[in-house]
Amino acid sequence: MTTPMNRMDSPADPVRVGLLGYGLAGSVFHAPLIATTPGLTLDTVVTSDPGRQEQARAAAGPGGGEVRTVATADELFAEPERIDLVVVATPNRTHVPLARRALEAGLPVVVDKPLAGTAAEARELARLADERGLLLVPFQNRRWDNDFLTLRSLLAEDRLGTVHRFESRFERWRPTPKGGWRESGDPEQIGGLLYDLGSHLVDQALTLFGPAASVYAEHDVRRAGAEADDDTFIAITHESGVRSHLWMSATAAQLGPRFRVLGSEAAYVKYGLDPQEAALRQGSRPAEGVRWGVEPESAWGRLGALEDTRPVPTLDGDYPAFYDAVALALREGTPPPVTAHEAAATLQVLETARSL
């Protein structure tokens, strides 16, 4: 792989970001994190919706100036020299063509999950990025969830012994479908929970326990009027011997544990979701000198066996670390926080699960 190109004239120049899309992903996750990352500036937002344009113009952050808004990707790519990094936060079906267009314009790119609809498409984008010497980074922000960071720390300290089984859930209670492309049954839309929440669950499992040797899956459409899978289970047997059981559901009237990890010496059980998404949705923003992603003691997980368990302080969540690492990779050529090849491995599992 060639070293990614550095488009900045000097280390003091801010990385100017063009953000494609200002729906949930763009407005709740990407824009706030970009605007609060030192060394990044949100320059342009692409959205044709007048209300979203008005919202985006206020998203630059302290000292960031006014955000330019344009209605189409054509307008953004008409001035490639104005932008140092493209972020694709548009509907899933557009991820590949827009990422390819950015790379062909000589621009590094961050792409919201899933990077592509297939592993082959992800690998092709990775090949193009490598040929151009450009950064291509899938946005797998839940590697910086507080519970995931805590579990990684416990594993690094060998607090569970040999792990046999990893159980992980993203469950919701949404008995009425919301509609839209995320719940569309059209395969071209790449909707459904398998590719939505499954992108996170599988990425976390592979990050913790390595490549998949085999995959089993169950996927169902449970709700009246629903078109895409809304109740899905994936079982992965890793080459390491660990078995991962992953649930994603919109039909869970009572929620199971977020994590249940069983080892030869102890188990770790954790309920509840990382607080960062809720905080971002409510308008909170990471700020220098202020703790972020903090969880109350009442939500800590427990480690141990049977009645002999004790609470484990949950590490603070750290979504800002993603764009910090992107900025560093652009400026200094350090490794990206997530690679396209890792995304392709996740997509291979999702493709296999969908085919079963």
pLDDT digits (tens, 9 = 90+) for 8-49: 545 668 999 999 999 999 999 999 999 999 999 999 999 999
In-domain check, residue 344: no
Q: Determine the pLDDT at residue 3.
A: 44
How many Cα neighbours within 13 Å face the side chain of 26? 26
Same domain for 160 and 302? yes
Residue 254 lies in domain = 146-316
Same domain for 297 and 151? yes
Same domain for 126 and 156? no
Same domain for 26 and 68? yes
Q: Determine the pLDDT at residue 150.
A: 98
Instruction: Please give the average per-residue pLDDT across 277-290, as a whole number.
Output: 94
Tell me the β-bridge partners of 246. Answer: 168, 234
Sort residue 219 into left (φ over 0), alpha (ψ -120 to 50) or beta: beta
Instruction: Please give the average per-residue pLDDT across 154-172, as a whole number.
Output: 98
Instruction: Please give the average per-residue pLDDT across 210-226, as a whole number.
Output: 96
Q: Determine the pLDDT at residue 59.
A: 76
Same domain for 153 and 196? yes
Same domain for 134 and 150? no
- E strand residue ranges, 39-155: 40-46, 68-70, 85-88, 109-112, 136-139
What is the total count of domains within the chain?
2
In-domain check, residue 345: no
The Cα 256–Cα 44 span in angstroms is 41
In-domain check, residue 9: no
Same domain for 222 and 82? no
Q: Is 23 helix (H, G, I), strand (E, B) or coil?
A: coil
Same domain for 226 and 310? yes
CATH number of domain containing 128: 3.40.50.720
In-domain check, residue 159: yes
Q: Is the dihedral of CA 347, 353, 354, 356 positive or negative?
A: positive
Tokens of 75: 């307008």
In-domain check, residue 346: no
Averaged pLDDT of the chain = 94
CATH number of domain containing 290: 3.30.360.10
Query: Using 50, 70 and 90 to split pLDDT, how confident is the model at 195?
Result: very high
In-domain check, residue 5: no
In-domain check, residue 284: yes
Same domain for 202 and 331? no
What share of the chain has pLDDT > 90, as a percent? 92
Same domain for 224 and 152? yes
In-domain check, residue 35: yes
Instruction: Classify strands 15-20 and 40-46 as parallel, antiparallel or unpaired.
Output: parallel
Same domain for 230 and 109? no
Instruction: Please give the average per-residue pLDDT across 189-194, as a whole number.
Output: 95
pTM of the model: 0.94
What share of the chain has pLDDT > 70, as a percent? 95
Same domain for 155 and 228? yes
